[in-house]
Amino acid sequence: MFIQTEATPNPATLKFLPGRTVLPSGTLEMRDSDSAARSPLAKALFAIPGVSTVFFGSDFVSVSKSDGEWQHLRPAVLGAIMEHFVSGVPLLVEGGEHDTPEDGEEFFAPEDAQTVATIKELLETRIRPAVASDGGDITFRGFRDGIVYLAMKGACSGCPSSTATLKSGIQNLLKHFLPEVQSVEQL
């Protein structure tokens, strides 16, 4: 098994591509070993000293470090990922279902439903694929008083360039298509 590794804009995060499906639908972020209890792979990754966040996408695993150097951590992470996929153990226990409790409820006024639908469509078709290529994800959280609220996960969470991505990229795109959008904020 060959696992490719890609750098992300976040120097604390690497993206690992095992060449197979990781999570069939959605994304899943775990920020500590307690939240990793339902994933044997995430538990193995959190057992590596220095690993701070594990993020599963459709065909990748993003791992963030709190300390240490990638030249020392990368071989251990590669080993844990390879061992998991070779073993045939499922990614998630408890039937493989996953939810994202950190997402919470969306908020917006009923009269903004059409604007929100357009925001979500732009996120899904133009923004999320680009963010996923960097090892992260972005989800809609709310819209109020012209402000779009988004949640960034994976490599994008805590990335030094995430503010620039939000303000220069996403905000400008949404304002171009939707004049009622005034700004974009991260939750």
- Report yes or no: 135 and 155 within 8 Å, Cβ to Cβ: yes
Q: Which of 149, 139, 170, 166 is nearest to 107 (CA)?
A: 149
17, pLDDT greater than 50: yes
> Does residue 165 carry a pLDDT above 80?
no
Domain termination site, one of 87, 111, 137? 87
pLDDT in tens, 104-136: 688 899 999 999 999 999 998 988 888 887 787
Termini Cα distance of the chain: 38
Same-domain check for residues 109 and 61: no
Residue 95 lies in a domain: no
> Which pair of structure tokens corresponds to residue 162?
């995430």
Owning domain of residue 16: 4-87
Q: For residue 185, give the nearest of 150, 152, 153, 159 by alpha carbon.
A: 150
**Average confidence (pLDDT) over 14-40:** 90
Answering whether pTM is above 0.75, one says no
Banded model confidence at residue 137, pLDDT cuts 50, 70, 90: confident
Among candidate residues 87, 111, 139, the one where a domain is terminated: 87
The answer to whether residues 15 and 83 belong to one domain is yes
Residues 120 and 179 in one domain: yes
* CATH number of the domain bearing residue 45: 3.30.1370.70
Average confidence (pLDDT) over 58-69: 92
